Amino acid sequence: MLKVAWRNLTHERTRMVIGVAGVALAVLLILIVNGIFVGAEESMVAYINRQSSPLWLMQAGVENMHMAFSMLPPGLVEKVKQIPDVDEAVGVLYIIGNVQVRDTLVPSYIFGIEPGKSLGGPWFLAEGTANLALNQAILDRALARRYRLGLGDAINIRGYNLTIAGLSEGTFGFASNIVFVNKAAMALGMGVSPQSASYILVKPVPNADVDSLAKKLREAVPEANLMTQAALAASDQELGRQMGGDIIQVMNVVAYLIGLLVIGISIYTITLERVREYGILKAIGANDRQLLTSVFAQAFASAGLGYVAGIGLAYAGAALMQRLTLTLIIIEPGAVVGQMPVLAAITALAALLSVGRVLRLDPMLVFQS
């Protein structure tokens, strides 16, 4: 009956393609919208997660980087460096502002970084250098490509013209853009000491106990708030959800429900369109068990083809959308695999809804029609 089910499915290619396409488009919708949600959360905490610093110091009372202002006094970085088990401590300046790229103002997270330091700067430099002079900056390569900019071209930040000396990757995402500038130049523009820092990134010596070092830091610099990298990232993600991430999550749930509905309707329609063929099978002696096998085999074959096609379309669509819109879309393997049980359940349910009509079918009515 499996061979019969396959022949039944492929007998009319146009109908098969339409049914499979319905499933594929539903899978595409589910994966793309979920990928936008995951990408938005990842973009929000990309800077935090990509730094090799499990401990972060910031102004007392501050628990975020997103939409926050923090300023630590001069000399605190040097004080932190003297604490046992601290391998490296680097201060960065940070503000949120507009970066003028040609005639467009791009809302950005602007970081003032120290040349030659392993912490605080871009985690992947595609071109150029991270050792920035006073009049230089690092821009995301995808953003630069959109505006046809390259090394040596200029951008403007708060009235200062800066030359692009480096192009980073992974620093542009949903409603976020990261730009790096020279810390001393940024301090001059902000009117603060170059030894000041918005955040201090702390890297322990190899094999040091992070919890023990965190305790030492809290005792040594009680005027600052200390957070672990994971806690700071989680705090920023929670703030992002409160400021609009929940809307994206609702869109994700709605898209998911719509996708499941389309899958169910597609499978149900594919089955009912073959009622005449099932009637013929029943007329020539097929029993209920064989009909059930045929119905379910055809439904799962259609769903399987649509699922595979949908995954391919999702990855291709995500790549295209990222190139056109610069929006980070992350289709996680776990999300792809996680849809399989749900798809199987919806397929089985849709097949069951149509089974009753198939089993009650009178073969004589088929021949009369």
247 shares a domain with 193: no
Q: Are residues 26 and 100 in the same domain?
A: no
Domain span at 141: 88-197
Which residue from 70, 50, 49 is spatially nearest to 58, judged by alpha carbons? 70
Instruction: Report pLDDT for 2.
Output: 46
For the chain, how many structural domains are there in total? 2
Q: Which of 362, 55, 356 is nearest to 216 (CA)?
A: 55
pLDDT for 19-76, tens place per residue?
778 888 888 888 888 888 777 778 888 899 999 999 999 999 999 998 889 999 999 9
pLDDT of residue 275: 64
Q: Nearest-CA neighbor of 310 among 251, 265, 263, 270?
A: 263
Task: Give the domain-ending residue among 197, 222, 254.
Answer: 197
Residue 341 host element (H or E) = helix 333-359
267 in the same domain as 180: no
Q: For residue range 276-294, list pLDDT tens digits in order.
A: 666 666 666 666 677 677 7
Look at residues 171, 197, 223 and tell me which one is the last residue of a structural domain: 197
Q: Which tokens hold the place of 174? A: 């949903």
33 in a structural domain:
yes
Same structural domain for residues 110 and 187?
yes
Give residue 92's pLDDT: 97
Residue 254 lies in a domain: yes
* Same domain membership, residue 361 and residue 273: yes
User: Is residue 66 in some structural domain?
Assistant: no
Q: Is residue 309 part of a domain?
A: yes
Buried residues in 190-218 as b, exposed as e (16+ CB within 10 A) = eebebbbbbbbbbbbeeeeeeeebbeebe
User: Looking at this protein, which amino acid is placed at residue 357?
Assistant: R
Residue 299 within any structural domain of the chain: yes
* Together in a domain, 248 and 327: yes
Residues 214 and 233: their CA atoms lie apart, in Å, by 17
Q: Tell me the average pLDDT of the chain.
A: 83
- The verdict on 265 and 360 lying in the same domain is yes
Q: Is the pLDDT score of 9 beyond 60?
A: no
Confidence of residue 206 (pLDDT cuts 50, 70, 90): very high
The reply to whether 189 and 287 lie within a common domain is no
Note the pTM of the prediction, 2 decimals: 0.73
Summarised one tens digit per residue, pLDDT across range 91-135 is 999 999 999 999 999 989 999 999 989 999 999 999 999 999 999
200 near 77, Cβ under 8 Å? Answer: yes
- What would the two tokens of residue 307 be? 């699922």
For residue 198, give the DSSP letter: S
Tens digit of each residue's pLDDT (9 = 90 or more) over 146-169: 899 999 999 999 889 999 999 999
268 and 363 inside one domain: yes
Domain endpoint, select from 169, 197, 225: 197
Query: What pLDDT score was predicted for residue 30?
Result: 82
Helix axes 13-44, 288-325, angle to 10 degrees: 50
265 by Cβ neighbours in 10 Å (0-12 / 13-18 / 19+) ranks as: middle
Give me the percent of the chain exceeding a pLDDT of 70: 82
pLDDT at 5: 46
* Torsional sign, CA 84, 88, 93, 98: negative
Q: Distance (Å, rounded) from C-alpha 170 to C-alpha 122?
A: 9
In a domain, 207, yes or no: no
Do 193 and 312 have their domain in common?
no
Q: What CA–CA distances, in Å, run from 177 to 39, 46, 166, 180, 303?
A: 13, 10, 15, 10, 39
Whether 154 is covered by a domain: the verdict is yes
> Residues 304-309: what's their mean pLDDT?
87
Structural domain includes residue 126: yes
For the segment 284-310, the average pLDDT, to the nearest whole number, is: 76
**What's the rounded Cα separation, in Å, for the pair 58 and 96?**
16
Q: In 3-state terms, what secondary structure has residue 308?
A: helix
Query: How would residue 365 be classed by pLDDT, with cut points 50, 70 and 90?
Result: low
Q: Which two tokens stand for residue 263?
A: 């899958």
Q: Could you report the per-residue pLDDT of 230-272, keeping only the tens digit for each? A: 999 999 888 877 766 556 667 767 777 777 777 777 777 766 6
> Is 70 exceeded by the pLDDT of residue 3?
no
Together in a domain, 23 and 99? no
Q: Are 27 and 128 members of one domain?
A: no
